[in-house]
Structure 1
Amino acid sequence: MKYTIDKQEKYASLRLHEEKLDSSVAPQLKSELITLHAEGIHNVILDLTEVKYTDSSGLSALLVGNRIMQEDGGIFILASLSEHTMKLIKISQLDTVLNILPTVEEAIDAVYMHEIEKDLKQGS
């Protein structure tokens, strides 16, 4: 699996450099997300700009990422989805479960908003 990770103070941005998010890539993506979580990163932005095709095993990896980040009050955001991937998510009715934003910039803003809301809740 080809990818790059940009680790910031509040989040990590993982960009896949693959055209397909399928059974050949999904297990590696799952283990990378689990590793990030184990390192104490709770907010992850998954940049899918280069991904043109996703199958059920790819969706499974996305759901694992979503579940493990939310366990600790973090947020898992998908950014820059292809039309095909978006259709698959909508058909699977996962668009109500997953956080999906059009751009990485919007995803970064959402992470900071999530952190602010979390801090406010803890303060009250």
Structure 2
Amino acid sequence: MQYEIIHKGQCTILQVNEARFDAKLAPQFRGVVEQHIDEIGHHLVLELTNVRFMDSSGLGAVMAVYKMLRGKKISVVNPQRPVRELLKLTRMDKLITHYDSIDSAIDALA
């Protein structure tokens, strides 16, 4: 999985640099988060600008990470329309807020 992790104060930004977030990527995504779980601040921001497609496996991986974080905040930044619609259709947008920019996600923590 192509990704980048950036730490900004209490926020950890995980930028997913893949076009598809599907069954192939889901286990790798969970593994990356597990590997870095001790470094994640109070807020995990998933930067999904590059993700053009997400299936149920990708959504399941995001929800597994949500549970892994045990009360820490998780949000997504700049989800493309198909991803945003999937989150809304499954009502996951009620648990995972989406923002238009990294700065607005970080500001929401304040």
1:102-121 matches, cutoff 5 A: 102-111=100-109, 113=110
- SS of residue matched to 1:5: strand
Cα pair distance change 1:103/1:8, threshold 3 Å: closer
> Which is greater in Rg?
1
Equivalent of residue 91 in structure 2, options 93, 99, 106: 93
Amino acid at match of 2:62: L
What TM-score do you get using the length of structure 2 for normalisation?
A: 0.89
1:45-56 matches, cutoff 5 A: 45-56=45-56
What TM-score do you get using the length of structure 1 for normalisation?
A: 0.80
Cα pair distance change 1:13/1:91, threshold 3 Å: same
Question: What is the alpha-carbon distance in structure 1 between the residues aligned to residue 40 and residue 47 of structure 2?
Answer: 20
Q: Does residue 10 of structure 1 match 2:10? A: yes
Higher strand share: 2
User: Which whole-Å deviations, capped at 9, do the CAs of 1:24-75 have from their partners, x for residues lacking one?
Assistant: 1111111112222234534211100000000001001111222222x1x421
Structure 2 equivalent of residue 43 of structure 1? 43
Q: What is the root-mean-square deviation of aligned Cα atoms in Å?
A: 1.5
Give the number of equivalent residue pairs. Answer: 110
Contact 2:11/2:40 (<8 A) preserved: no
Unaligned runs of 5+ in 2: none
Cα pair distance change 1:39/1:66, threshold 3 Å: same
Question: What is the alpha-carbon distance in structure 2 between the residues aligned to residue 4 and residue 45 of structure 1?
Answer: 12
Unaligned runs of 5+ in 1: 114-124
- SS of residue matched to 1:65: helix
Higher helix share: 1
